[in-house]
Amino acid sequence: MDTRPVPVAGVVRTAAAALARAGIDSARVEARLICAHVLGIDQSRLISADGIDDAALAEVERIVAARTGEKVPLQYLFGRAPSGRLELSVGPGVFIPRPETELLVEWVLARLPAPGGATRPVIVDLCAGSGTIALEIAHARPDAHVHAVELHDAALQWLRRNAEERAAAGDTPIEIHHGDATDPGLLPELRGRVTVVASNPPYIPMTDDLPADVLGHEPATALFGGADGLDVVVPLVDLAASLLAPGGLLAVEHDDTTGAEVAAIVERQGRFGTVEQHTDLAGRPRFVTATTPGDGGHDGHKVDDDNDEVDTTVQKGTAR
User: Percent of the chain beyond pLDDT 70?
Assistant: 91
CA distance 165 to 267: 38
Give the pairing type, strands 285-291 and 244-253. antiparallel
Class of domain 81-314: alpha beta
Answer whether residue 297 shows pLDDT above 80.
no
pLDDT at position 241, please?
98
pLDDT at position 188, please?
98
| Residue closest to 167 by CA, chosen among 143, 139, 140, 147 | 139
CA distance 189 to 181: 15
pLDDT at position 3, please?
67
For 159-217, the pLDDT digits (tens) are 999 999 999 999 999 999 999 999 999 999 999 999 999 999 999 999 778 888 899 99
Q: With contact defined as beta carbons under 8 Å apart, do 141 and 116 qualify?
A: no
Answer whether residue 138 shows pLDDT above 80.
yes
CA distance 296 to 67: 49
Q: With contact defined as beta carbons under 8 Å apart, do 99 and 62 qualify?
A: no
Domains of the chain, residue spans: 8-69, 81-314
CB half-sphere exposure, 233, CA atoms < 13 A:
32
CA distance 67 to 188: 44
Q: With contact defined as beta carbons under 8 Å apart, do 307 and 172 qualify?
A: yes
Average model confidence (pLDDT) for the chain? 91
2 pLDDT tier (thresholds 50, 70, 90): low
pLDDT at position 69, please?
95
pLDDT at position 42, please?
92
Q: Which fold has domain 8-69?
A: Helicase, Ruva Protein; domain 3 (1.10.8)
For 253-265, the pLDDT digits (tens) are 999 999 999 999 9
Taking residues 118-138, report their average pLDDT: 97
User: Percent of the chain beyond pLDDT 90?
Assistant: 84
pLDDT at position 306, please?
43
